[in-house]
Chain A
Amino acid sequence: MRKVGFGTYVVIIFPIIAAIWLLYPTYRAWELEKEKEQLAQDSAALAQFEKEYGETLRELKLRRLKLGLDLRGGMYITLEVDVLRLLEESAQRDAIDEVFQEVMRKTRQEAERSDEPVLDIFLRYFDQIARPKGRTLFSYFEFGDVRDLTEEDIIDRLEQNIEDAVDQAMEIIRQRIDKYGVSEPSIQKQGGRRIVLELPGVTNEKEVRQLLQTTARLQFHLLRQNVEIVQAFAQVDELLRQEQAAREPADTSSIEKTVTAQNPIDTTGQQGDTAKADTTVQSDTTNPYAGLSDEEAREAYRRDHPFTSLFVTYYIDRENNRYVPIDYVRKNFPEGEYYFEILESNIPQFEAILQRPDVMRIIGTDYMIALAAKPRAETEGSPQRVYPFYVLKAEPELTGEVIVDARATFDPTTNSPIVLMTMNADGAERWARITGANVGKRIAIVLDGRVYSAPVVQTRITGGRSQITGLSSIQEARLLEIVLKAGALKAPVKIIEERVVGPSLGEDSIRRGLTASLIALALVVLFMVVYYSFAGIIADLTLFLNLLLILAMLAAFGGTLTLPGIAGLILTIGMAVDANILIYERAREELYKGRTIRAAIDEGFRKALSAILDSNITTFISGLILFYFGSGPIQGFAVTLMIGIVMTLFTVLVVGRSIFQILLARGVQTINLGQPKVAAAK
Chain B
Amino acid sequence: MEFFRNPNIDFLGKRHLFKYVSFALMAIGILGVAILGIPFGIDFTGGTEIALRFSKPLDISQVRAVVAQTEFARSEIKTYGAPNQFLIRVQQTKGAGEIAAKLKEAFQKQFPDLTVTVLKADVIGPKVGKELRTDALIALILAVLAILLYVSLRFEFAFALGAVLALVHDIIIAFTWAVIAGQLGIISMEVNQSTIAAVLTVLGFSINDTVVIFDRIRENREIHRGLPLVELMNMSINQTLSRTVNTSLTTFLVLLVLTLFGGAVLQGFAFIMLLGIVVGTYSSIYVASALTIWYIERRKGKKKVVAATAT
Segment among A32-40, A351-359, A423-431, A571-579 that sits at the interface with chain B: A571-579
For residue B246, give the distance in angstroms from its CB to the closest CB of chain A.
Answer: 5
Check if A115 sits within 8 Å of B130, measured CB to CB: yes
Check if A631 sits within 8 Å of B263, measured CB to CB: no
Q: Does B166 contact A (CB under 8 A)?
A: no
Contacts of A106 in B (CB 8 A): none
B198, B243, B265: the one contacting A582 at CB < 8 Å is B243
Check if A629 sits within 8 Å of B262, measured CB to CB: no
Q: Does A637 contact B (CB under 8 A)?
A: yes
Residue of A nearest to B100 (CB): A500
Q: Does B105 contact A (CB under 8 A)?
A: no
Check if A611 sits within 8 Å of B211, measured CB to CB: yes
Q: Is the interface of A mostly helix, strand, loop or mixed?
A: helix
For residue B237, give the distance in angstroms from its CB to the closest CB of chain A.
Answer: 13
Check if B197 sits within 8 Å of A564, measured CB to CB: yes
Check if B135 sits within 8 Å of A563, measured CB to CB: no
Check if B136 sits within 8 Å of A634, measured CB to CB: yes
For residue A624, give the distance in angstroms from its CB to the closest CB of chain B.
Answer: 8
Q: Does A48 contact B (CB under 8 A)?
A: no
Contacts of A637 in B (CB 8 A): 197, 200-201
A630 to B132, CA, bound (A): 8
For residue B158, give the distance in angstroms from its CB to the closest CB of chain A.
Answer: 16
Q: Does A78 contact B (CB under 8 A)?
A: yes
Contacts of A70 in B (CB 8 A): 265
Check if B119 sits within 8 Å of A633, measured CB to CB: no
Chain B interface residue count: which class? 35 or more
Residue of B nearest to A624 (CB): B146
Segment among B13-21, B121-129, B288-296 that sits at the interface with chain A: B121-129
Contacts of A632 in B (CB 8 A): 132, 193
Flag A108-122 by CB within 8 Å of B: 1 or 0 each: 000010010000000
A567 to B272, CA, bound (A): 11
A520, A622, A679: the one contacting B200 at CB < 8 Å is A622
A310 to B201, CA, bound (A): 55
A209, A573, A615, A622: the one contacting B203 at CB < 8 Å is A622
Check if A524 sits within 8 Å of B124, measured CB to CB: no
Check if A205 sits within 8 Å of B98, measured CB to CB: yes
Flag B192-234 by CB within 8 Å of A: 1 or 0 each: 0110111011011101100110111011000000000000000
Q: Which of B1, B151, B214 has the most CB of A within 10 A?
A: B1
Q: Does A252 contact B (CB under 8 A)?
A: no
Segment among B67-75, B179-187, B248-256 that sits at the interface with chain A: B248-256
Q: Does A585 contact B (CB under 8 A)?
A: yes
Contacts of A508 in B (CB 8 A): 119, 263-265
Residue of B nearest to A521 (CB): B254
Contacts of B269 in A (CB 8 A): 563, 567
For residue A637, give the distance in angstroms from its CB to the closest CB of chain B.
Answer: 4
Contacts of A516 in B (CB 8 A): 257-258, 260-263, 266
Q: Which residues of chain A from 526 to 577 have any CB-CB distance to chain B below 8 Å in the complex?
A: 527-528, 530-533, 563-564, 566-568, 570-571, 573-575, 577
Check if B193 sits within 8 Å of A619, measured CB to CB: no
Q: Does A152 contact B (CB under 8 A)?
A: no
Check if A582 sits within 8 Å of B193, measured CB to CB: no
A78, A581, A607: the one contacting B219 at CB < 8 Å is A607
Q: Does A618 contact B (CB under 8 A)?
A: yes
A497 to B117, CA, bound (A): 22
Check if B249 sits within 8 Å of A527, measured CB to CB: yes
Check if A570 sits within 8 Å of B266, measured CB to CB: no
Contacts of A150 in B (CB 8 A): none
A500, A523, A574: the one contacting B121 at CB < 8 Å is A500
For residue B263, give the distance in angstroms from its CB to the closest CB of chain A.
Answer: 3
B119, B203, B243, B258: the one contacting A505 at CB < 8 Å is B119
Q: Does A676 contact B (CB under 8 A)?
A: yes
For residue A437, give the distance in angstroms from its CB to the closest CB of chain B.
Answer: 47
Check if A622 sits within 8 Å of B146, measured CB to CB: yes
A484 to B74, CA, bound (A): 46
A154 to B252, CA, bound (A): 60
Check if B243 sits within 8 Å of A581, measured CB to CB: yes
Residue of B nearest to A511 (CB): B263
- Contact (A626, B211) CB under 8 Å given A500-B100, A500-B118: no
Q: Which of B130, B211, B242 has the most CB of A within 10 A?
A: B211
Q: Does B303 contact A (CB under 8 A)?
A: no
Flag B28-59 by CB within 8 Å of A: 1 or 0 each: 00000000000000000000000101000000
B2, B51, B96, B215: the one contacting A614 at CB < 8 Å is B215
Please provide the 7 A-B residue pairs with the shortest distance between their CB atoms, ordered closest to farther: A205-B97, A512-B263, A564-B197, A611-B215, A520-B254, A505-B119, A496-B125
- B-side residues, CB < 8 A to A, are 1-2, 5, 51, 53, 95-98, 100-101, 117-125, 127-128, 130-132, 135-136, 138-139, 142-144, 146-147, 150-151, 154, 193-194, 196-198, 200-201, 203-205, 207-208, 211-212, 214-216, 218-219, 239-240, 242-243, 246-247, 249-251, 253-255, 257-258, 260-266, 269, 273
